[in-house]
Structure 1
Amino acid sequence: MFLELVATLFAGIGAAGLMMLVTHLTGRLTGRRLPKSLTPIAAGAAMIIATISSEYGWFERTRDTLPEGLTIIETVESKAFYRPWTYAWPYTERFVALDTSSVRTNQKLPDMRMADLFFYGRWSPVNRMTVMADCVAKRRAPLVDAIEFDDDGNVQGADWITVSEADPTLAAICEVP
Structure 2
Amino acid sequence: MLLEFIATISAGVGAAGIILALQKLLRLPMPKWAMPAAAGLAMLAFTIWSDYSWFSRAEAGLGESKITAMTVDKRQIWRPWTFVFPVTTQFIALDKEGAKVDGAMVETDMYLLARRSESAIVPVAFDCLLSRRADTVGLPEGDLSGATWYDMNEDDPVLRTACDELR
Name the TM-score, length of structure 2 as normaliser.
0.85
Structure 1 residues 155 and 113, CA gap change in structure 2 (3 angstroms): farther
1:139 aligned partner: 132
Shift of 1:35: 2.2
Deviation digits for residues 88-121 of structure 1 (CA, Å, limit 9, x no counterpart)? 1111112111001222244xxx322222101122
Shift of 1:45: 1.5
Distance 1:142 1:85 in 2: 37
Deviation digits for residues 129-170 of structure 1 (CA, Å, limit 9, x no counterpart)? 11121111111122244x579xx9553350x22222211111
1:118 aligned partner: 111
Structure 1 residues 154 and 21, CA gap change in structure 2 (3 angstroms): closer
Contact 2:105 2:128 in 1 (8 A): yes
Question: Which residue type is aligned with residue 145 of structure 2?
Answer: V
Contact 1:55 1:91 in 2 (8 A): yes
Alignment partner of 1:9 is 2:9: yes
Question: Which residue type is aligned with residue 3 of structure 1?
Answer: L
2:145 aligned partner: 155
Of 156, 168, 172, the match for 2:161:
172
Deviation digits for residues 53-82 of structure 1 (CA, Å, limit 9, x no counterpart)? 111111112222322311111111121011
Map 1:25-64 onto structure 2 (within 5 A).
28=27, 33-64=29-60
Distance 1:170 1:103 in 2: 14
How many residue pairs were aligned?
A: 166
**Which protein is richer in strand relative to its size?**
1
Question: Which residue type is aligned with residue 84 of structure 2?
Answer: A
SS in 1 for 2:40: helix
Map 1:54-133 onto structure 2 (within 5 A).
54-106=50-102, 110-133=103-126
Contact 2:136 2:144 in 1 (8 A): no
SS in 2 for 1:73: strand
Contact 1:79 1:91 in 2 (8 A): yes
Name the TM-score, length of structure 1 as normaliser.
0.80
Question: Which residue type is aligned with residue 15 of structure 2?
Answer: A
Identity fraction in percent: 36
Distance 1:84 1:113 in 2: 41
Unpaired segments of 5 or more residues in structure 1?
A: none
